[in-house]
């Protein structure tokens, strides 16, 4: 049996390191950074939701036209993790990763790309 697959979705997991603690610590500053990153890419935000932890740290979900992601921050370690799913290719996801890294002022990041296919 031969299977034919084509890529229709991309799932990318980012780990940001050595990021700006102040950006990651509070909902207000994280939201500003995410909004700026998306705006710089001309991406439209459909819906977002943030949960503030005490004394610091944020979990959020962000939904756009061709993507959605969740993020959890660990300001005490100057790091955060992002789980992005997009209906476009990995280059689109990498653009989002680069924009977020810039706004979070992350000095390093790792990413894992999972290609989702359709039979």
CATH number at residue 106: 3.60.90.10
Whether residue 41 is contained in a domain is answered as yes
Interatomic CA distance for residues 113 and 90, integer angstroms: 7
Whether residue 49 is contained in a domain is answered as yes
Average pLDDT for the chain:
91
CB 7 within 8 A of CB 116: yes
Whether residue 108 is contained in a domain is answered as yes
Residue 97 reports pLDDT greater than 50? yes
Residues present in the chain in total: 119
pTM: 0.89
Residue 87 reports pLDDT greater than 90? no
Looking at the structure of the chain, the number of domains it has is: 1
**What residue has token string 């500003």?**
32
């Amino acid at each position: 049996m031969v299977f034919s697959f084509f890529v229709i979705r991309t799932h990318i997991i980012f780990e940001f390191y050595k990021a700006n603690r102040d950006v990651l610590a509070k909902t207000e500053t994280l939201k500003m950074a995410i909004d700026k990153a998306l705006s710089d890419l001309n991406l439209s935000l459909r819906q977002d939701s943030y949960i503030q932890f005490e004394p610091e740290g944020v979990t959020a979900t962000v939904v756009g036209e061709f993507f959605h992601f969740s993020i959890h921050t660990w300001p005490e370690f100057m790091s955060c993790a992002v789980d992005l799913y997009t209906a476009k290719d990995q280059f689109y996801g990498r653009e989002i990763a680069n924009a977020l890294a810039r706004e979070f002022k992350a000095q390093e990041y790792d990413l894992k790309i999972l290609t989702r296919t359709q039979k």
